[in-house]
Structure 1
Amino acid sequence: MPITTSTIEPGVVAVTVDFPPVNALPSAAWFDLGDAIIAAGADPTTHVVILRAEGRGFNAGVDIKEMQATEGFDALIGANRGCAHAFGAVYDCAVPVIVAVNGFCVGGGVGLVGNADVVIASDDAVFGLPEVDRGALGAATHLARLVPQHLMRTLYFTAQNVTAQQLEHFGSVYRVVPREGLLDAALEVARLIAAKDTRVIRAAKEAINGIDPVDVKTSYRLEQGYTFELNLAGVADEHRDAFVTTGKARA
């Protein structure tokens, strides 16, 4: 199954994504992912959620090939709404969400990670937003939660990646470990949280969200409005077609 939920040990639930070859999710899968995360947190026996992925990388964003193969705007709207749902689910999950990031984490992957509570990464993990190379905008809201403001702007405008080691330096990644030790490292933190009184932890999650200086859901939807403008202007299609045809950004 592409998205599965399993109890690893008492109180610790893993939501695992497996969409070969690169975990680029079609529109419906973003909704499924969000639903799985919310459902896991709603279970009173869950104390903490680990969001992880199988395969080459954690997440490659939306499935652009699906978008370009679909007539009209339904796939674009579905992808945007689906991403908003999944990112919001990580943020609104009633219990803390630990993300275990392996390999690449780009586009929508940054949206998931930026809204998480704890980030563990493999030593080969890289994070980035290739949005401007795809004629789209989005997830600057979430990248700004991982790096300082000016670096966020530089990475966004240049579509460059940042390494797990750099994010560990900024404190947004809690630990960087070899890939084979990624789940164990996530479990170490999960056990510390799961050992607490879940009633207190759930209240703490809600309280911390309540004092957040940025409304991440409204901020992200504002960004998406510019994506729709670029799409209506025909700019986005040019870039997506170039990517599907050549696998490279349009000059």
Structure 2
Amino acid sequence: MSAAPGAADLVLHERHDGVLTITINRPAHKNAMDHEAALQLAAAVDLLDADPELSVGVLTGADGVFSAGMDLKAFAKGELPVLPGRGFGGLTGTAVRKPLIAAVEGWALGGGFEMVLACDLIVATDDARFGLPEVTRGLVAAAGGLVRLPRRLPYHVAARVLLTGEPLTAAEGKHYGLVNVLTPPGGALEGALELAGRVARNAPLALAAVKEVLRETQGLNESDAFRRQDEITSGVFDSEDAQEGARAFAQRRAPVWHGR
């Protein structure tokens, strides 16, 4: 999957110390997603998962806004920022193997909020807002909002957001456990990169296994969840990294991971 020849850089990415920062770069459109932006975001996510030198991704938006969701002007012309098998923005239906952190400034609306919900951790500024206004436009939040939000928030809080179309504040998100870290305005990316660094220093095989277990055991009964967990994690205990972790602990040094 690749961007169209000569397409503008609608999604930027930069790597540093095992972390890939992915930036939605349509500031003139409040980082709303069109089809081309979805293709480029999907390619960036594929890069994160494919590159063994990368452990964690950080997803953010340019110029103080995470994303206003779907580009409604493009939608009115018949264009959708939804990719087959991958969902909105090429992300919401994609099983990303490595941890992904959302760094939210300003608004995360509609599909923008649903992309946030597709991430594993959320860092947001005090003045950030999260909304699913689809019902006010004759639509529904079918790219993850309807399914994921009630799993992350108390039912009646999620129902209020979904049925009224009114936004959730970052402070409310932190109170209910949706947001991991609050920062001052302008500090979401810095906060997300600090959190990403704390994640990236851990063993990559273990990180991927933890994420897969979290994703695949939701809704299972306990016995089925343990069975699936054991299937996913069995190789971790036999890995070189597991041996390295034990040696590093015994030798009182930092481990050197190899992802195998």
Under TM normalisation by the shorter chain, which class is it?
A: 0.7 to 0.9
Counterpart-to-counterpart distance in 1, 2:124 and 2:51: 26
Counterpart-to-counterpart distance in 2, 1:147 and 1:158: 16
Preserved contact between residue 32 and residue 112 of structure 2 (Cα < 8 Å): no
Counterpart-to-counterpart distance in 2, 1:133 and 1:41: 36
In the other structure, the counterpart of 1:20 is: 27
Correspondence 1:210-249 to 2 at 5 A: 210-213=216-219
Q: Deviations over 1:58-102 (max 9, x none)?
A: 01011111122x2xxx424x547551732123xx22210010000
**Structure 2: tracts of 5 or more residues without a match:** 1-8, 221-260
Give the residue type in structure 2 aligned to 1:131: E
The offset of 1:205, in angstroms, is 1.3
Q: Deviations over 1:162-181 (max 9, x none)?
A: 10010100111011101222
In the other structure, the counterpart of 1:86 is: 91
Preserved contact between residue 114 and residue 145 of structure 1 (Cα < 8 Å): no
Identity %: 32
TM-score norm. by structure 1 comes to 0.77
Preserved contact between residue 146 and residue 167 of structure 1 (Cα < 8 Å): no
The counterpart of 1:108, out of the listed 111, 121, 126, is 111
In the other structure, the counterpart of 1:32 is: 40
Counterpart-to-counterpart distance in 1, 2:11 and 2:159: 32
Give the residue type in structure 1 aligned to 2:24: V
* Higher-RCO chain (CA-CA 8 Å, sequence separation at least 6): 1
The offset of 1:20, in angstroms, is 2.0
Preserved contact between residue 129 and residue 161 of structure 1 (Cα < 8 Å): yes
Answer with 1 or 2: which has the greater Rg: 2
Counterpart-to-counterpart distance in 2, 1:84 and 1:211: 25
In the other structure, the counterpart of 1:247 is: none
SS at match of 2:186: helix
Q: Which has the higher helix share?
A: 1
Preserved contact between residue 130 and residue 159 of structure 1 (Cα < 8 Å): yes
The 1:39–1:142 alpha-carbon spacing in structure 2 relative to 1, beyond 3 Å, is: same
Correspondence 1:19-98 to 2 at 5 A: 19-21=26-28, 22-68=30-76, 70=77, 74-76=78-80, 79=82, 81=84, 82-83=87-88, 85-89=90-94, 92-98=95-101
Matched, 1:167 2:168: no
**Structure 1: tracts of 5 or more residues without a match:** 215-251
Counterpart-to-counterpart distance in 2, 1:11 and 1:195: 9
The 1:32–1:84 alpha-carbon spacing in structure 2 relative to 1, beyond 3 Å, is: closer
Give the alignment's Cα RMSD to 1 decimal: 1.8
Counterpart-to-counterpart distance in 2, 1:137 and 1:40: 30
Counterpart-to-counterpart distance in 1, 2:83 and 2:203: 36
Counterpart-to-counterpart distance in 2, 1:44 and 1:128: 35
The offset of 1:143, in angstroms, is 2.3
Counterpart-to-counterpart distance in 1, 2:119 and 2:169: 17
In the other structure, the counterpart of 1:132 is: 135
Counterpart-to-counterpart distance in 1, 2:190 and 2:89: 29
Preserved contact between residue 106 and residue 129 of structure 2 (Cα < 8 Å): yes
Counterpart-to-counterpart distance in 1, 2:64 and 2:197: 26
